[in-house]
Structure 1
Amino acid sequence: MYEFKIGINPTEHDRFVQGHPLCNLLQSASWAKVKDNWGSEIVGAYKDGELVASSLVLVRPLPAGFSMLYTPRGPIMDYSNKELVQFFMDNLKKLGKQKRALFAKMDPTIIYKDIQMDREEIPNPLAQEVITNLEQAGAKYQGLTMEMSATIQPRFQANIYKADFSEEQLSKSTRKMMKQAQKKGVTVRMGHVELVEDFAKMIQLTTERQQISLRDSDYFKKLLNIYPEQSFIMLAEVDLRARYDETKARHDKNQQDLANLKENQVKKRHNLEELEFSLTRELAELEENIAASGEKAVVAGALAITFGTTSEILYAGMDDRYKRYMPAYLTWYEAINECFERGCESCNMGGLEGSLNDGLIKFKSNFNPTINEFIGEFDLPVNKLLFKASEYAYKLKKGKK
């Protein structure tokens, strides 16, 4: 016999989630503090006094006193246990009635199939069983959607596994980009709240360039303070003054070499004149950058959070004026490596469109990820009379975003 409880101790819940194969940051108890504009509950099922299923449930207010429930990347349980799934769904529905919810939405981290970068597909043989068990328990399956805008969380994500990640395992071109960044003076340092303002500037530049809406410095501070031991910022910088002085010294030497050439050294003159043009252009660019950014420029950044053996690079940005410095390659490499140094077995680089041909995958593929395709979203009707109307209104609203 199972026992359902509302108000599970957050520490007990986190311990259960962190030890489960479906572990995900969005199911950590502290995620409710991130989503503090929603209500929340932690609920679970026990068998013989042992927690066997648990979920952070967010409660979003709707018009006319109604609400919707959402279990982000949850619930966490054994979905092959048909009896447990039915018991949990029945009790989730009861919770929904208490909260005047029209429905409960869920998107468990059950993989439908993995896709390698060479496009080899590895199906999950248990995926259909999970879908069937949830449907038989009363949940309505929303299907294999392809666009990121169709679901709350992306159905496709680029996920790097520790066993597939090392500098030696990266492609020759990726290693070349990292070396180019180092050659151009890019350095990377790790920090916390003290780096937020500089990091937020990178995100702002990214939002302006890509015409998307991300977050501000207050939100990043909030994340870092909620997960003080599990979060970090990786920031890439260039000492423009030092680079200018170095380039100026090379330029002066090149001019001296040109002045000392003999008339018959035609080939060498050609090479030095090409170098003269390149160094003159770089000096002008550095002068312009120093005027705009100061003597030391922040050029890229990434914010990551670890939870259990999983980690997420939630936000990353770059100053496009320095894209020739290739700072994003070093920033992402160091952030991913730090997650693995902290004991994580995987690092999620974020969502992708189901077509797998957008600009996001082009960059992320440099780090040898596996594409996880999840089974997708389910809606558990609570108020059957109003569910269909609310489902239509919800989809309409999603379509307008």
Structure 2
Amino acid sequence: SRGAFTVKMGPPVVARRWSADTVKTAIADPAARRLGEVTATADEPGAAEIAERLRAMGWQRTEPGGEDGFAAGQPRYVFQVPFAGRSLEEIHRGLNQQWRRNIKKADKAGVQVVRGGYDDLPAFYELYAETAERDRFIPRPLPYFQRMWTSLTAEDPDRMRLYLARHEGDVLAAATMLTVGSHVWYSYGASTGRKREVQPNNAIQWRMMTDAHALGAAVYDFRGITDTLDESDHLVGLLRFKAGAGGEAAEYLGEWDLPINRLLHKALDVYMARR
């Protein structure tokens, strides 16, 4: 009645999983080009049936909008660390040697990770804008994060958290963490190119993982990873970083559209393809 012409959704249904070791091996294999082409460690039962039921009801799966595997909406490939039934010590042992070394190095260097608030969002954004330029993506504006904070913390003061990694008065890294039920997401991250040797990124992630475990999280979700395994792609470094935390890569069923007005739905597809 309000003129909607398409319904979109991203079902939280995992289709396949790859262990961290499988991902690491695939990155090192010159013949492996995309994660989706690598034999999965586990295929989730029922996912294919759900996809067929959606198609039978008229839903259409949309493909990622870019060659790097990231869509305009929710990522199809993510990296997750299972927490359920595991102690913090077990999770720490699941980190690779480089992660554990970097966490210890940050602590020895005096990196302090603290929780921030709404007034610290500009400091986060300054690093986020620097990260966007370095990693070649278009940043969201500061008011986006301010609205996110206001909206989510109005639901629950702990729904969204901001963490800052400081060293000798300098903010070197910052990240947001979202919590819904027992699922915790590392949502947005940012860092400067300065003082990388004190390892602020590992320090901030370990603090967030520690706090997530204390909250009773069943899973710590690093969110989107690239589908490409090409070593020359700058996003492979992000995949390698996340895989170092242990856990597993997961492929969701992806995003699905249900066209209500097929003409307008097609027109939007054409517009988005040309934009």
Do Structure 1 and Structure 2 share a fold, with TM-score over 0.5? Answer: yes
Q: CA deviation at 1:169?
A: 2.4
Which residue number in structure 2 is paired with residue 111 of structure 1? 14
CA distance in structure 1 between the partners assigned to 2:256 and 2:107 by the alignment: 46
**Contact 2:70-2:76 within 8 A present in 1 as well:** no
2:2 to 68, 79, 99: 99
Which residue number in structure 2 is paired with residue 267 of structure 1? none
Q: CA deviation at 1:144?
A: 8.5
For 1:322-357, what per-residue CA distance to the aligned partner results, in whole angstroms no more than 9, with x for missing partners? 111111000011112212212221122121122255
For 1:176-199, what per-residue CA distance to the aligned partner results, in whole angstroms no more than 9, with x for missing partners? 111111222211111222322222
1:211 to 132, 136, 149: 136
Task: Give runs of aligned pairs for residues 176-255 of structure 1, distance below 5 A.
Answer: 176-228=101-153, 229=157, 230-239=159-168
Which residue number in structure 2 is paired with residue 128 of structure 1? 48
Q: TM-score, normalised by structure 1?
A: 0.56
Task: Give runs of aligned pairs for residues 309-388 of structure 1, distance below 5 A.
Answer: 309-356=182-229, 358-388=236-266
- Structure 1 residues 354, 300: CA separation in 2 closer, same or farther (over 3 Å shift)? same
Please say if 1:158 is aligned against 2:71.
no
For 1:278-317, what per-residue CA distance to the aligned partner results, in whole angstroms no more than 9, with x for missing partners? xxxxxxxxxxxxxxxxxx1111111111111112211111
CA distance in structure 1 between the partners assigned to 2:212 and 2:247 by the alignment: 14
For 1:347-390, what per-residue CA distance to the aligned partner results, in whole angstroms no more than 9, with x for missing partners? 22121122255221111112113211011122212123444444
Task: Describe the SS at the equivalent of 2:217.
Answer: coil
Which residue number in structure 1 is paired with residue 62 of structure 2? 142
Q: CA deviation at 1:147?
A: 4.1
CA distance in structure 1 between the partners assigned to 2:244 and 2:138 by the alignment: 25
**Contact 2:75-2:224 within 8 A present in 1 as well:** yes
Name the stretch that deviates more: 335-344 or 317-326: 335-344
Which residue number in structure 2 is paired with residue 49 of structure 1? none
AA matched with 1:139? W
Q: What is the percentage of aligned positions where both structures have the same residue?
A: 24
**Contact 1:115-1:372 within 8 A present in 2 as well:** yes
**Contact 1:162-1:346 within 8 A present in 2 as well:** yes
Q: How many aligned positions are there?
A: 244
Q: Taking CA–CA contacts closer than 8 Å with sequence separation of 6 or more, which of the two structures ends up with the larger relative contact order? A: 2
Task: Describe the SS at the equivalent of 2:150.
Answer: helix
**Contact 1:203-1:215 within 8 A present in 2 as well:** no
Which residue number in structure 2 is paired with residue 57 of structure 1? none
Task: Describe the SS at the equivalent of 2:103.
Answer: helix
CA distance in structure 1 between the partners assigned to 2:212 and 2:70 by the alignment: 28
Task: Give runs of aligned pairs for residues 29-68 of structure 1, distance below 5 A.
Answer: none
Task: Describe the SS at the equivalent of 1:354.
Answer: coil
**Contact 2:70-2:224 within 8 A present in 1 as well:** no
CA distance in structure 1 between the partners assigned to 2:182 and 2:201 by the alignment: 24
Provide the aligned C-alpha RMSD in A. Answer: 2.2
CA distance in structure 1 between the partners assigned to 2:197 and 2:205 by the alignment: 16
Name the stretch that deviates more: 180-189 or 378-387: 378-387
* Structure 1 stretches lacking a partner, 5+ long: 1-97, 240-295
Please say if 1:392 is aligned against 2:265.
no
CA distance in structure 2 between the partners assigned to 1:150 and 1:342 by the alignment: 30
Higher helix share: 1
Which residue number in structure 1 is paired with residue 35 of structure 2? none
CA distance in structure 1 between the partners assigned to 2:160 and 2:237 by the alignment: 27
Please say if 1:301 is aligned against 2:178.
no
**Contact 1:151-1:377 within 8 A present in 2 as well:** no
CA distance in structure 1 between the partners assigned to 2:258 and 2:14 by the alignment: 20
